[in-house]
Chains A and B, each alone.
Chain A
Amino acid sequence: MPPVRAPLPHMLQITLYNDCAPNCVEFGALAAFLAENVPWASVAFGGDLVTAAAAHLSPAERGQLLEKTAWLLARARVHRPDHLLPPREPHPMEASVERRRLERKGDTSSPGVPLDGFRTQVIYARLIARADAVQIVVTGRLLLTYDPDDLRYHARTIVPGRPALISVPGLVEGPAKPREYYQALHALGRAGLDELARASAAKAIWGRFLAHGDDRTTEVLKGYLLQAVAYELTGDPFCPDPNCRLYNAHHQEEMLHAQMGSGSLCARHQALFASRP
């Protein structure tokens, strides 16, 4: 069943939010890119997601909102990617860790425990969703979605919808790295389990995949912003053309090619964004 969305207003409003995205993400550049490529939209950077969500709340209301959101996020954690388990009552410490993150206390730069992307989208919708605007959250959390075809969770780069969630660690962990990376890991020992082996394998193919804190992150993110907007306009965020920035890349090299090698849109999507449908 297609998602139900409110009719688009005459002037599309797009607001970008920062949800503990790594420092390598330049939101000014992202907003400018969107404004340039979707000229009929009004683009704004809404700042920190939680700050924006609680801007008009009293301290007590803010506390309640954070408490509830933290509990829901703890409940949305995915512990076993090969199982679709019903949500369970989180341990108070799990909720407390999520609360600290929401309060932006301590080091929030790590992706934390992976979250179910669809559940997270619903939780974030409670915070910022508006019927008359498009929200795009660039998050530092790793998001997974369950695929009923192969009965397991997969790391995602984007969960389109309202709000659209774009996961920066998902850009690193989602698309598969070049085959040589896994071959090198295997040759070096216990695949994926030895940090030194991993670093050595990564060194051999450095540059052919996006790493955490990579300088190219902002550039790669730009195409995913357009995917979020395309979903709003057409219900389909992706393009089958591997040279288009809307290409749904399953491999790192495909992703880097679409976003940086080609770095452009196909004719159909250029036309889509150029003027209001």
Chain B
Amino acid sequence: MEKQPVFSPVGEKEVTRAIIEGFARQLSDYVQSDCIIVGAGPSGLMCGRNLARKGYKVYIIERNNYLGGGFWIGGYLMNTVTFRHPAENVLAELGVPYKEATPGLFVADGPHACSKLIAAACDAGVKFSNMTKFDDVVLREGNRVAGVVVNWTPVAALPREITCVDPVALECKVVVDGTGHDATVVTALERRGIVKTVGMGGMWVERSEDALVEHTGEFHPGLVVAGMAVSTTFGLPRMGPTFGGMLLSGIRAAEVVEEILNRG
């Protein structure tokens, strides 16, 4: 008896066409969205997940192939990630197992926590464009941020002779800078002389996560800062790799974005 093939008899051209059509359909759809989040780290993912759950159209761009930013690992490249109370409630909401290490300090498995958060964002309806590098901001009247200019990540690595690969622009109502210490979007505004950042604070202070959440907000019309980008923008004290602040900052950023969207 002849053995039946396991997979459907599909040729290379059908596979290629499916990839192109799927990608092009999504990109075309997300040329305009409610919110573009730059950076798929924990704060960006959390922000996107909460907005998408409320029905907003959210697009996250990420310069790496992988999503999750630094959420996969904790300090010293060890993949246990730490959270201070009350961030364990977010873990519970996401279905991430955790344990209390010392009173008020919780630990979780990095890969488990990160993959659950990515899945939660996807399940909520967030769409992603990975291997996509933020290039610049789209500005409107009064220097309001109204979108981002992006390019393929590999373009930045090409030799100068062949880097004449023009970027494309995506429009949205609100941009969230979730790019970590680099604060790439805020820095783009700073390059134009529109805003000024303070730079990463030089002092280690316990409980500086609270300040980070406290300062998450609309830094410039149309631009919300979240996660470690907040630290760079406002020169907050340094903090270690506890991710509670990132998750709570993402939640706060979603609230601020919603306020901006509602005021029109």
Chain A positions within 8 Å of B, measured between CB atoms, are: 77-83, 91, 93-94, 96-97, 100, 106-107, 109-114, 142, 153, 169, 172-173, 188-190, 192-200, 203, 212
Given A79-B202, A93-B217: A111 and B76 within 8 A (CB)?
no
B215 and chain A: residue at smallest CB distance: A97
Q: Assess the B235–A79 pair: CB atoms within 8 A.
A: yes
A109 and chain B: residue at smallest CB distance: B210
Given A97-B215, A193-B75, A196-B105: A111 and B242 within 8 A (CB)?
no
Q: Assess the A189–B76 pair: CB atoms within 8 A.
A: yes
Asked if B111 is at the interface (CB within 8 A of a chain A CB), the reply is no
Asked if B2 is at the interface (CB within 8 A of a chain A CB), the reply is no
Q: How far is the CA of A183 from the CA of B82 in the complex (A)?
A: 21
Q: How far is the CA of A244 from the CA of B227 in the complex (A)?
A: 45
Q: How far is the CA of A200 from the CA of B198 in the complex (A)?
A: 32
Given A79-B235, A198-B240, A199-B102: A192 and B204 within 8 A (CB)?
yes
| 16 chain-A/chain-B pairs, Cβ below 8 angstroms | A79-B201, A79-B235, A82-B202, A107-B210, A113-B235, A173-B205, A173-B206, A193-B240, A194-B76, A194-B241, A195-B82, A195-B240, A195-B242, A196-B74, A200-B102, A212-B206
Asked if B32 is at the interface (CB within 8 A of a chain A CB), the reply is no
Q: Assess the A194–B217 pair: CB atoms within 8 A.
A: no
- Could you give, for residues 100-117 of chain B, a 1 whenever the CB lies within 8 Å of some chain A CB and a 0 otherwise? 011001010000000000
Interface of A is mostly: loop
Q: Assess the A203–B236 pair: CB atoms within 8 A.
A: no
Question: In the complex, how many residues of chain B place their beta carbon closer than 8 angstroms to a beta carbon of chain A?
Answer: 37
**A81, A91, A200 — most chain B CB neighbours (10 Å):** A91
Q: Report A-chain residues with C-beta under 8 Å of the C-beta of B218.
A: 93
**B75, B195, B218 — most chain A CB neighbours (10 Å):** B75
Chain B positions within 8 Å of A, measured between CB atoms, are: 74-76, 80, 82, 84, 101-102, 105, 107, 195-196, 198-199, 201-208, 210-211, 214-215, 217-219, 234-238, 240-242
- Knowing that A80-B235, A195-B105, A199-B105 are A-B contacts, what are 18 other residue pairs whose CB atoms are under 8 Å apart, sorted by A's residue number? A81-B202, A94-B215, A111-B205, A113-B201, A113-B211, A113-B235, A113-B237, A114-B203, A192-B204, A193-B204, A194-B241, A195-B241, A196-B80, A196-B105, A197-B75, A199-B101, A199-B102, A200-B102
Q: How far is the CA of A125 from the CA of B82 in the complex (A)?
A: 41
Q: Report A-chain residues with C-beta under 8 Å of the C-beta of B196.
A: 91
Q: How far is the CA of A71 from the CA of B80 in the complex (A)?
A: 40
Distance in Å from the Cβ of A84 to the closest Cβ of chain B?
13
Distance in Å from the Cβ of B256 to the closest Cβ of chain A?
11
Q: Assess the A196–B219 pair: CB atoms within 8 A.
A: no
Q: How far is the CA of A76 from the CA of B247 in the complex (A)?
A: 29
B230 and chain A: residue at smallest CB distance: A93
Candidates B84, B199, B215; contact of A79 at CB < 8 Å: B199
Q: Assess the A194–B240 pair: CB atoms within 8 A.
A: yes
Q: Report B-chain residues with C-beta under 8 Å of the C-beta of A192.
A: 204, 240
Q: How far is the CA of A112 from the CA of B211 in the complex (A)?
A: 5
Candidates A80, A91, A94, A194; contact of B75 at CB < 8 Å: A194
Q: Assess the A97–B214 pair: CB atoms within 8 A.
A: yes
Q: How far is the CA of A190 from the CA of B80 in the complex (A)?
A: 15
Candidates A93, A112, A114, A195; contact of B219 at CB < 8 Å: A93
